Amino acid sequence: MNIFITGASGYIGHLLVNRLIELNRERKEKWKIVAADIRDTPTFQAGEEVEYVQLDVRSDQVEEVIRTNHIDTVVHLATIVTPGKKSNREFEYSVDVKGTENVLRACVKHHVKRFVITSSGAAYGYYPDNPEWITEDQALRGNEEFSYAYHKRLVEEMLASYSEEYPELEQVIFRIGTILGETVNNQITALFEKKVMLGIAGSDSPFVFIWDQDVVECLVQGITEEKTGIFNVAGDGKLTIDEIGAILNKKVLRLPAWLVKTGLFVLKRLSLTQYGEEQVNFLRYRPVLDNKKLKTEFGYTPRLTSREVFLYYLEKKGLINAQEAKRFTA
């Protein structure tokens, strides 16, 4: 098997590459692994077992790498999760959507067998009429005002078209919940480190979490096994904003939606924050992923529940101690 990984120096990417190296050492017939990222140096130990290629997923170089390395399995991880302060909507669209289209075209042209991709629960969108538990048959309504959610929706619509037109390209799509691990640092984890927890009046702001190692094992299984399809990836259960506040021993400050929206509107236009008024629905109507299909059809049961991985993350970050984590496990 010849494996091509985009976004390989990202958070999940480097964990996956390290895991594949570990598995490759146990195998008699070695996999060829080509890991690519826009960064000039990898965040993992490249060498004899992994060829590292610096490339932009929007470039013609993608096709060249797939062709010259006889790639049969592509793992597409390249996406913009947390935009930088100088980022803009046009750039994010070009990477998330046009970049994915570029990779898919190259896969079809050079007869790649399997395409594994990380999507997101955000593709379902943030709406007041979201079901309490969202299953894979729910419509994708990623909000246009929230670029990450909207781009995931557009990518999946593209994948559906490719599935109809090119059924020979096997697809495995993972709609992933909030990833937590030892070193995760993003806009969601920043919420847990503030002095008070910000909530929206009238909302429980539920979170579903998934351990980064469970995400990696799902990707490995997606690469190595024959099952295809779309799967929610989340730990069992959910945590509300009040439960999170109780674990952190922090007050939950609930503000009216209109007040938070107005504040963010003003702050963004003063360039004091990169986040705008769309973040209100992001906090208020979080999609809660049902993982039944992942367990029963894909055949993978996450090793940590949402609560367990949240406590694991807090302990590793030094926000609670082992005794406190044990007390909140039940």
Q: Does pLDDT of 291 surpass 70?
A: yes
Domain assignment of residue 95, yes or no: yes
Q: Does pLDDT of 280 surpass 90?
A: no
* Overall pTM > 0.75: yes
Task: Answer for the pair 202, 221: CB distance below 8 angstroms, yes or no.
Answer: no
Q: How far apart are CA 39 and CA 11, in angstroms?
A: 13
Q: Please give the residue range of the domain that contains residue 292.
A: 2-180+209-235+287-304
pLDDT tens-digit series, residues 13-59: 999 999 999 999 888 888 999 999 999 888 887 777 899 999 999 99
Higher per-residue pLDDT: 142 or 327? 142
Task: Answer for the pair 89, 98: CB distance below 8 angstroms, yes or no.
Answer: no
Domain assignment of residue 160, yes or no: yes
Q: How far apart are CA 183 and CA 83, in angstroms?
A: 18
Task: Answer for the pair 117, 152: CB distance below 8 angstroms, yes or no.
Answer: no
pLDDT tens-digit series, residues 94-105: 999 999 999 999
Q: Does pLDDT of 310 surpass 80?
A: yes
Q: How far apart are CA 106 and CA 270, in angstroms?
A: 42
Using 50, 70 and 90 to split pLDDT, how confident is the model at 87?
confident
Q: Does pLDDT of 91 surpass 80?
A: yes
| 111: CATH | 3.40.50.720
Domain assignment of residue 110, yes or no: yes
Q: How far apart are CA 28 and CA 178, in angstroms?
A: 36
Taking residues 160-180, what's their average pLDDT?
97
The distance between the two most distant Cα atoms of the chain, rounded to a whole number of Å, is 61
pLDDT tens-digit series, residues 176-188: 999 999 888 877 8
Number of domains in the chain: 1
Roughly what angle, to the nearest 10 degrees, separates helices 11-24 and 212-224?
60
Domain assignment of residue 27, yes or no: yes
pLDDT of residue 275: 66
Using 50, 70 and 90 to split pLDDT, how confident is the model at 88?
confident
Domain assignment of residue 217, yes or no: yes
Percentage of the chain lying above the pLDDT 90 cut = 69
Taking residues 122-132, what's their average pLDDT?
95
Q: How far apart are CA 127 and CA 201, in angstroms?
A: 15
Residues 6+ apart with CB under 8 A from 253: 196, 197, 198, 199
